[in-house]
Each structure stands twice: as structure tokens, then as C-alpha cells.
Structure 1
Amino acid sequence: MAPKTDFPPVRACLFDMDGLLLDTEDIYSQCINAILARYGRPKMPWSIKAKLQGRPMIESNKIFMAWSQLPIPLEQFQKENADLQVENFPHAKALAGVEELLQSLGRTRYWEEVAKTDKAPEKPAGHRVHIALATSSQTVNFHLKTQNQGELFSVFEAPRRVLGDDPRIAPGRGKPLPDIYTLALKTINETLAPGEAPVTPEECLVFEDSVPGVEAGRRAGMRVVWCPHPELKVEYAGREPEVLAGKTGEAGEAGDATPPGEIEDGWSEYLPTLESFPYAHYGIVVPPTEVDNEPFMKATAA
């Protein structure tokens, strides 16, 4: 298949959180390995961790308990794990490039604001890029992880945050199924300025670190950037084209109604880091930092 190249400019960026925006994956491993050590079990390998990433808590716990064979019931494991997470999650830091990326995307609202003033050019150089959060983390853990990252996450407007326990996502319909990203796009379209055309899936760019998350984005009919943990990249060495197409089989029969992509179809790309993000490649024009001093920009940021 010849890769598609004639994409429309990206108008919406949809973000996973764990391991993509925040450096939480090593914290997850630290907590779980501490529990495994208590009961004489070996450390969790990345071959297992890869299956847990991005999935709803109920499903990931089921996979983990089947592998670990811990001599304790699930409820006890959950309590011990939660206690360790309460202690460690507040220390989660933003990953490299994240702050600059979110700030730059936030600055694109300049194109929307300038169009309302007498400074509006006949044809603006760029357009606003809307953003939304789509994380499998449930509300309690989301607040734990972000309690010291308020400024970073302030760019995600409350109506555009979709969490793992969102009642609008049916049980069993978490990643790698597309529902969370379809819903994230819906939250954007429901909050657009009057007269702005709805954003289409093809105009969306999903940012993911997990393999199930990539598959969810592809099944939602969206473009995807895969930025995995280095250890996860090693785990899938040689299978990168399958990952980028969403064809690793994570969804099983449940995904039959929403097919993934095709190998090397041009819809997905791997990036080792979010630093120096290639905005122009996705049709995104970021205004210079000087525009933050415009009166109408100060007003919208207040």
C-alpha cells in the first residue's frame, strides 16, 4: 500500500497521559515490583508490562494477577498497590518536551482570537489546534498524579478531559477499542466556537506511548504519534509497523466493527521523544511567543 500523504492539517491533538505526558510508568513498575518482592515473586518483565499499559484498571489487574500468581487476593493487591501509589504518584514529572509542546499548541488559539479583532488578515497563517485528554487513569489516580502539575494540565479544559472511569464509556470498551478517543473528539466538537466546522477524525492527531493506545487511535480513524518508553520499544523491536498500524491484535473480536489501519499506510509515526516536535509536518503553525503579550491573549489566559 502506498502511504497516504494528502492529509488535511491537524485541528485537534488528543493526549494519553501515563508514560506520554507524565513519567509514571517507572513509578507503576516500582510499586508493583515492591509488592512482588514482598511475596517472593520475580520482578515484572516488560513483556507483561506492555500488556498492562493503556488498559482500564479492571482489565490490567486481571492480566497482572494471572501472570504474577501472587498468594494474595486481588483486593489485597489493590490495597497494597494503592498505598504505594498514593506515596509515589505525586512526585511524577513531565516527560521531555511535554511542557513546550502543550504551551505551543495552546498558543495557537492566537489564530482564533486575532480573527475576532481588526487585526485579522485576509487569510491567517495558521489555525487553532484544539486539545483534549484521553487517559485510562481513573479520577482518583488522575488527581494524585497531577496534584503538583496544575499549571501543565490547565491547558486541558475540564469538559475536554476524558478519564478511565468516565460513565460515557461502556464497561469493557476501554483501550485498545476506540471509544475513549471518539469521546474525546466529541468533547471538542461540543465546545467549539459558534460557526466553527466540526473536527473530523482525519484531522485528529493522537499521542500515545502504549501499544493498546495506538490501536485505539487507529481504530478511531485518527492519525497517531507513538512515543513509547525505551524498554517498550525494545520489546516490540521488529514489530514497529504492526504497532503503528494497530494490527498487534490487542482488541480481538471486540474490535471487528472498527478495523485498524494497514501496514505503512502513512497514518502513524514513531517519535523517540516529544522534544522538537515537527509541527509543520502536521500542518500546525505555532505563533511566536511574543503574541502572548497581545491584550486579547492576556484576556483569554486570565
Structure 2
Amino acid sequence: MAKPVTHVLFDMDGLILNTEDLYTVAFQNIVSRYGKNYTFDLKLTLMGCQSKETAELIISALELPMTPEEFIKESKEQFEVLFPDSELMPGAKRLIEHLHKKGIPIGLATSSSEESYHLKVDKHHQDLFALFPYKTFGSSDPNVKRGKPHPDIFLVAVAKFPNNPKPEQCLVFEDAVNGVKAARAAGMQVVMVPDPRVDKSLTEEATVVLKSLEDFKPELFGLPPFED
């Protein structure tokens, strides 16, 4: 059952931007040199993890002959090529601009580093992301001790709102199973927009599951409805 909320937090990768697809390309480019395959099942376990966690898990799972630091360095080289041309996911711009216009406090809670964020946003999307007055970068913020599925990033993010809302007053938008688990662990409701390949049994912790942000109805959570 959806309950009214006053504040909203957004994940970024795979929800606002199509960068989850770009991560797949980047990581496959790296592991291909060793004859390995970066599968969707492996990706599913990593979505929402911090950079170092991701590197360690991929190296371990695929038995790669490299250190996490080497993997991160190669990843950054791939990202510098791929991320600047990231594209918005359907419905993201409309929803963010609507909430901003209606005065709903919104924040960004991404596991990305601040450096990675700028690669994804600065070329094409600065105006939209400028609407987020509060941003939390999980791989850069020392207060975010653990990545998703732990609740750390959402607890850090909600603490940035000046009027100190309670977790149950916050709605999180996520695409990843780990992100949903993190938000629920933080005591928040979650709208999930999963990759269509995600098994439905893995989406059951979400408050609402949508095929696209275009399908979201703000009034379900007591937020101002779209006017068009």
C-alpha cells in the first residue's frame, strides 16, 4: 500500500540515464581480453555497488588476473569515451521538472563517484541535474560506508534535506534490486523501474513496479498530479 510522502530521492544509473547499458559495454570490453563474459546475472549482483566493490566482485567472479586498482583504472578509460553521450531514460525529465516546479524537495542518491557523475552529466544534462539541490555520490562520499543493498546512501542523502524528514516521508526511485533493498532497509517506500530482464520475483520488495517512469502517477503517493 502506497502512503503519502513529502520528499523524493532518485537513483541515477539506469533510472534517469541509460548508463547501465554503458557500464555493460565498458566492463565487457575489459573482460573480453581474458576471454570472459560479463553476464546479466553477474551485473544484477553488482548494480548499486560502489566502484571498489564492483571491481573486486567482477575480478573474483571471473577470475581475472588483475588488481581492483587496475580494473578501476581501465574502467575509467572506458567511461571517458562512453559516458559523455549518455541519454535520458523515458519519463525522467518530465518527472524531475514536475516535482521541482511543484516545490517537492528532491535529491540524487547515486552509487557513482562525483568524477563519474560529471562525465555523464556535463555534456548534455547539466540543466536537468541542476534541479537537484542535494546530491550524494556513494563512491566519493566518506559518510557512505557501504554500497547498496545497505541503507547507508539513502540515510546520508535524506539527512541533507534541511527540514529533517523521517525516512517514511521519503520516496525512492530505483531500477536495481540492490537499490530497492537499500531503500527498504532505510525505511523508505520505493518505486522500481527494473530492467525487463529482471525476474519478477526479485521485484517484490518494491512498493510499486513500473515499466517506465512515464507510467508514474504522483498522486498515488500524495504528490501533486501531472497537469497534462
Which range, TM-score by smaller chain? over 0.9
Deviation per CA, 1:201-239: give whole Å up to 9, x if none.
Answer: 1111001111111011001111001111222x2xx2334
Deviation per CA, 1:29-59: give whole Å up to 9, x if none.
Answer: 1011112222222x21111000110011111
Q: Which residue of 2 aligns with 1:150?
A: 126
Distance 2:20 2:27 in 1: 11
Identify unmatched segments of 5+ residues in structure 2.
Answer: none
Computed over aligned residues only, the root mean square deviation of the Cα atoms, in angstroms, reads 1.7
Q: Is contact 2:55-2:71 (8 Å) kept?
A: no
* TM-score computed with the length of structure 1 as normaliser: 0.71
Distance 1:86 1:185 in 2: 30
Q: Is contact 1:208-1:226 (8 Å) kept?
A: yes
Query: Structure 1 residues 282, 34: closer, same or farther in 2, change over 3 A?
Result: same
* TM-score computed with the length of structure 2 as normaliser: 0.93
What displacement does 1:185 show? 1.1
1:278 to 197, 217, 226: 217
Query: Structure 1 residues 239, 211: closer, same or farther in 2, change over 3 A?
Result: closer
2:54 to 48, 52, 60: 60
Query: Structure 1 residues 174, 74: closer, same or farther in 2, change over 3 A?
Result: closer
1:174 corresponds to 2:163: no
Identity within the alignment, %: 36
Identify unmatched segments of 5+ residues in structure 1.
Answer: 110-128, 193-197, 245-267, 290-302
1:26 to 21, 31, 44: 21
Q: Is contact 1:51-1:60 (8 Å) kept?
A: no
1:237 corresponds to 2:200: yes
Q: How many residues align?
A: 226
Q: Which residue of 2 aligns with 1:137?
A: 112
Q: Is contact 1:108-1:286 (8 Å) kept?
A: no
Q: Which residue of 2 aligns with 1:222?
A: 188
1:1-302 alignment to 2 at 5 Å? 4=1, 7=3, 9-41=4-36, 43-109=37-103, 129-148=104-123, 149-157=125-133, 160-164=134-138, 165-170=140-145, 173-188=146-161, 190=162, 192=163, 198-231=164-197, 233=198, 236-241=199-204, 243-244=205-206, 268-286=207-225, 288=227
Deviation per CA, 1:118-158: give whole Å up to 9, x if none.
Answer: xxxxxxxxxxx21001111011101111112101101101x
